[in-house]
Amino acid sequence: MELRCSLQTYEWGKIGENSETALLAQANNPGLQIQDLTPYAELWMGTHPNGPSQLASTGENLHDWIQQNPQVLGEPVRQQFGVQLPYLFKVLSVNKALSIQVHPSKSQAEELHRRLPDIYKDPNHKPEMALALSPFEALCGFRPLDQIKHFLDTIPELRCCVGQENVESLLSCSEDSQQEVLGQCFQSLMTRSDDVITTALTSLLNRISSLDESSRGMQLADLVEKLHSQFPGDVGVFGPYLFNHITLQPGESLYLAANEPHAYLSGDCVECMACSDNTVRAGLTPKLKDVPTLCSLLSYICEPASCKLFVGTDEDEFTTIFRPPVPDFAVVKINVPEGRTYTMTPRPSASIGIVTQGCATSPNLPLHRGSVFFLPADDTIQFTVTSTESLLVFQAMANV
């Protein structure tokens, strides 16, 4: 069953036809006119009320159709989540950094919703997974502690904003206390006055602009300058010195569990998440910053960038499944070469698929780049690839 999907034009999106999101949306809905100066950020596939998908054949809202046909979800989904899709599926095209943020756990989300319902509007957690369609750049998780110590030692402006006493405590702390002391350092930085941050960043930008190429690389000058050009005077510009800087290659995946600090910086990806809007922001954003909540949620676990990659499991020669440790969602990547016929594996959950490359014939539904389809639980599609390039499909479902 083919779907028409919602296109979101947030200001951080890629502009016009440079946006993969816009190009896929136009292929999904040929009547769409791409505007040259408009930022196209996200294509939403699912039942979220802020951007629900519609049945292409009738225009009916997918959420309403599921309410009338609950059996399509699959019994395991209905038992665990009721009559609703527990996930939201997206394509993102990032031109400008998204905020440094975390998402609360289920119990934390329930408490935040109880205390601050105007800010945290639902009681659900929001784990996320991103699968790169192009080189995809992000900040994710705290760097190994020796790297953070190195930057505190070599970036005087960072050291000034964290505070000399906090820096000395971190440099000398035992392994048992490092998370607590790192938390104190981070909170000190994030609560520093705007005047102090602005002065420190001005000094930092002036200093790194005159460094030789080798020294610029060691002090992450290009990234810091880019973030400062997007968010001048924002404390989040110091983020690269504290968080892992990762560039996913196409097909690689990143899983973001609760309380994992992160910020998407650039590139295109497929993203799947639990159905929630709960985001706690603290930097690289003009939106509301809730620094006390963010600092209290973080676990301050330090790990290398390699630990952040999420590796899927091959089901057969054409299919890889990415199953995070949550029941809300999993993602399947299907890559079938020219001329081959393939039958998709029936799943116990209703699923949504998007074709990002190639085309194929099918008795059920012709598939082409931009096709988005809804597949009831335990159903399948058999198709034959007709394009000279392989057919690439990403399929979201509940992880039941």
Question: How much is the pLDDT for 277?
Answer: 81
Structure tokens belonging to residue 261: 């600090």
pLDDT bracket for residue 122 (50, 70, 90): confident
Residues 73, 349 contacting (CB under 8 angstroms): yes
CA 148 to each of CA 20, 202, 238, 247, 303: distance values in angstroms, whole numbers, following the listed order: 35, 21, 11, 19, 11
Model confidence pLDDT, tens digit, residues 227-270:
999 999 999 999 999 999 999 999 999 999 989 999 999 999 99
Structure tokens belonging to residue 206: 């002036």
Q: What angle do CA 321, 327, 332 make, to 5 degrees?
A: 15
Question: Is 368 part of any known ligand binding site?
Answer: no
pLDDT > 90? residue 276? no
Question: Is 128 part of any known ligand binding site?
Answer: yes
Q: What angle do CA 318, 326, 357 make, to 5 degrees?
A: 30
Residues forming a β-bridge with 367: 360
pTM, 2 dp: 0.95
**SS3 track for 178-236:** HHHHHHHHHHHHHCCCHHHHHHHHHHHHHHHHCCCHHHHHHCCHHHHHHHHHHCCCCHH
Question: How much is the pLDDT for 121?
Answer: 82
Question: How much is the pLDDT for 207?
Answer: 97
What backbone phi and psi angles, to 5 degrees, belong to 257?
-80, 180
Pick the CATH number of 314-397 from 2.60.120.260, 3.40.50.970, 2.60.120.10, 3.60.15.10: 2.60.120.10
Q: What is the DSSP string of 77-120?
A: HHHHH-SS--EEEEEEEESSPPPEEE---HHHHHHHHHH-TTTS
- At 314, which helix (H) or strand (E)? strand 313-314
- Rounded distance, CA 60 to CA 100, Å? 37
What backbone phi and psi angles, to 5 degrees, belong to 45?
-125, 110
Question: Is 230 part of any known ligand binding site?
Answer: no
Domain 144-239: CATH superfamily, name plus number? Phosphomannose Isomerase, domain 2 (1.10.441.10)
In the residue annotation, 281 being an active-site residue is answered as yes
Residues 131, 393 contacting (CB under 8 angstroms): no
Model confidence pLDDT, tens digit, residues 49-90:
889 999 999 999 999 999 999 999 999 999 999 999 999 999
Q: Could you check whether 144-239 and 314-397 share the same CATH topology?
A: no
Question: How much is the pLDDT for 180?
Answer: 95
- Rounded distance, CA 331 to CA 255, Å? 11
Domain map (residue ranges) of the chain: 3-140+247-308, 144-239, 314-397
Greater confidence, 118 or 204?
A: 204
Model confidence pLDDT, tens digit, residues 340-381:
999 999 999 999 999 999 999 999 889 999 999 999 999 999
pLDDT bracket for residue 124 (50, 70, 90): confident
Question: How much is the pLDDT for 119?
Answer: 87
Name the packing angle between helices 145-154 and 178-190 (round to 10°): 40
pLDDT > 90? residue 21? yes
pLDDT bracket for residue 6 (50, 70, 90): very high
Catalytic residue (choose from 4, 281, 347, 369) = 281
Question: How much is the pLDDT for 152?
Answer: 97
pLDDT bracket for residue 389 (50, 70, 90): very high
Question: How much is the pLDDT for 299?
Answer: 87
Model confidence pLDDT, tens digit, residues 327-349:
999 999 999 999 999 999 999 99
Question: Residue range 156-168: average pLDDT?
Answer: 97
Domain spanning 3-140+247-308, CATH architecture: Sandwich (2.60)
Burial class of residue 24, CB neighbours in 10 A (0-12, 13-18, 19+) = buried
Residues 312, 130 contacting (CB under 8 angstroms): no
The pLDDT mean for the chain works out to: 96
Question: Is 101 part of any known ligand binding site?
Answer: yes
pLDDT bracket for residue 288 (50, 70, 90): confident
**Weakest-pLDDT range from 15-19, 46-50, 81-85, 149-153:** 46-50
